[in-house]
């Protein structure tokens, strides 16, 4: 009888054990092994690649560098990871779990900003939580930038753009219309720029004299960045990458794809270099002052986000998903609260099969 009970227990537990082992194997494969296997041949030293940095198994965005350039932040399926900028290895994560925050870096790069509709968090580069705020608005949060000038921050949401001090008290509204999706600030927070996707225009405010605001019209921008001193603004979208003077909105230079769709734009913190990545994986780097190309790289996947190291010696490129559709039609269904997140515009009516790199590449500009 005892033997029968033992056999019964074994017979019941064996399938459960197989399932558990199978799940563990799948998790290890999809999150660790598959991304690393997919990088085979993707980082060739002869082509200027320094190393790869992993974050999950899907699209990866490089969010920004620390002030001294020793660390950078990536966003992917493993959420916000802080990496060692000398080798790409993970230092720590922001322990957000399934909270699904979006990430940005303050203009002076001293803090990491994590935000969602009901939460704004500020971290240091060791991953320590500095502040945890509940937004003083019920209109959600589409983007946040820190403003050292007022020891506060600006929020873009469905109601417009609002500026808040460090005590989470409202200072002023800059724009009370909807449609603002992206914000950018200079290092000291004296300049604030915003892209409105409804009007396809960018507005630049010098916060010490709001009457001198400048508007740039007829531009589709999926990327927005001010130079550290606020004198230059870069924006990029499907039509290319562009740089303007913030004083009068005059165009300084541009990189426009030849018959291809631009997928990513990068702008150096000092405003001297502009980068554009296109759908075939090519990434071009332009010297803004000389208006000439200084480097061209060829990647095996589409670029998703491009960031220059603070000293301009390296270029970090997050790689996007290669998406195939099975059993359904590929459709686009934008959501305001997810439009800027990886995969936020893509879904299918039935199935989605993604072949995703799960990593970023860091390229050398030292010899360019």
Residue 175 has pLDDT above 70, yes or no: yes
More confident residue, 78 or 145: 145
pLDDT mean over 16-38: 55
pLDDT in tens, 159-171: 889 999 888 889 9
Residue 10 has pLDDT above 70, yes or no: no
Residue 121 has pLDDT above 80, yes or no: yes
Question: What integer pLDDT is reported at residue 259 of this predicted model?
Answer: 85
CA distance 258 to 163: 40
CA distance 28 to 26: 5
> Minimum mean pLDDT among 40-44, 225-229, 312-316: which range?
40-44
The domain locations on the chain are 39-364
Residue 331 has pLDDT above 50, yes or no: no
More confident residue, 139 or 270: 270
The confidence band for 113, taking pLDDT boundaries of 50, 70 and 90, is very high
- C-alpha pair distances (Å), 9 with each of 16, 88, 90, 120: 11, 47, 43, 50
pLDDT in tens, 240-290: 999 999 999 999 999 999 888 899 999 999 999 999 999 999 999 999 999
Tell me the CATH number of domain 39-364, given options 2.130.10.10, 1.10.8.590, 3.40.50.150, 2.40.40.20. Answer: 2.130.10.10
CA distance 291 to 274: 10
Question: What integer pLDDT is reported at residue 159 of this predicted model?
Answer: 84
Q: How much is the pTM?
A: 0.79
């Amino acid at each position: 009888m005892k033997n029968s009970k033992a056999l019964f227990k074994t017979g019941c537990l064996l399938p459960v054990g197989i399932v558990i082992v199978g799940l563990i194997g799948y998790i290890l494969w999809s999150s660790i092994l598959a991304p690393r296997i997919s990088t085979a041949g993707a980082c060739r030293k002869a082509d200027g690649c320094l190393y790869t940095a992993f974050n999950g198994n899907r699209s990866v965005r490089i969010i920004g560098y620390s002030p001294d350039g020793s660390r950078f932040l990536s966003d992917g399926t493993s959420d916000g990871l802080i990496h060692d900028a000398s080798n790409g290895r993970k230092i720590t994560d922001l322990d957000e779990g399934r909270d699904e925050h979006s990430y940005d870096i303050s203009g002076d790069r001293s803090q990491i900003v994590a935000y969602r509709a009901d939460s704004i968090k500020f971290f240091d580069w060791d991953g320590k939580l500095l502040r945890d705020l509940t937004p003083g608005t019920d209109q959600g949060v589409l983007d946040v930038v820190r403003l050292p000038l007022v020891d506060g921050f600006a929020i873009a949401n469905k109601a417009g753009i609002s500026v808040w001090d460090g005590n989470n008290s409202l200072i002023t509204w800059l724009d009370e219309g909807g449609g603002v999706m992206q914000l950018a600030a200079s290092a000291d927070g004296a300049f604030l720029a915003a892209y409105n996707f409804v009007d396809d225009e960018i507005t630049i405010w010098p916060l010490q004299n709001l009457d001198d605001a400048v508007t740039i019209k007829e531009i589709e921008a999926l990327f927005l960045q001010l130079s550290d001193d606020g004198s230059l603004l870069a924006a990029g979208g499907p039509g290319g990458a562009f740089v303007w003077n913030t004083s009068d909105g005059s165009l300084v230079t541009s990189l426009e794809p030849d018959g291809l769709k631009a997928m990513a734009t990068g702008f150096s913190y000092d405003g001297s270099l502009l980068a554009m990545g296109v759908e075939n994986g090519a990434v071009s780097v332009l010297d803004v002052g000389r208006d000439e190309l200084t480097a061209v790289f060829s990647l095996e996947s589409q670029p998703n986000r491009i960031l220059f190291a603070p000293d301009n010696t390296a270029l970090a490129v997050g790689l996007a998903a290669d998406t195939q559709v099975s059993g359904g039609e590929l459709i686009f269904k934008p959501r305001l609260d997810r439009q800027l997140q990886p995969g936020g515009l893509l879904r299918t009516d039935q199935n989605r099969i993604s072949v995703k790199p799960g990593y970023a590449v860091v390229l050398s500009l030292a010899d360019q």
